[in-house]
Amino acid sequence: MVQLIRSIFVAAAIALVMALAPATPTLADEYVTNLGPVGPNEPILAAFSGQRFLAFFVPTQGSCAVHTFMWKDAGATTRVMLSLSPGEMVRFDEAHLSLNLLCGVDASSLAVVPPTELLTSNN
């Protein structure tokens, strides 16, 4: 009797896994994107045309101590560390990646912001 109950339970578990399998993501190329704003030690994540970007910050003496990492899928990693005052912005330009990072008020956040030419264009 115990063997029969165990067999039914295993069969039900296998059926459940088979039913839920189509709901799982099928592409490993689907990357998480987080353009912020983020708080201290939270990641900004971006991916464009095989170029990856990760950034985070630590509030230090009233500024954002920013750490960034950029890499291609099969290439070397570039690391940049810099300090931004509140309201100050830095721009990163690569062949397939261009973005601006803005240190928020009181060095409490970091966010990706649109390029200036997008903000000033009349479309």
φ/ψ of residue 57, rounded to 5: -140, 160
φ/ψ of residue 98, rounded to 5: -140, 120
Name beta bridge partners: 48.
51
The pLDDT tens digits for 66-100 are 999 998 877 888 999 999 999 999 998 877 678 89
Distance separating alpha carbons of residues 71 and 11, to the nearest angstrom: 45
Break the chain into its structural domains and give their ranges: 44-120
Q: 102 with 110: CB under 8 angstroms? A: yes
Distance separating alpha carbons of residues 21 and 38, to the nearest angstrom: 33
Q: Say what the pTM is.
A: 0.69
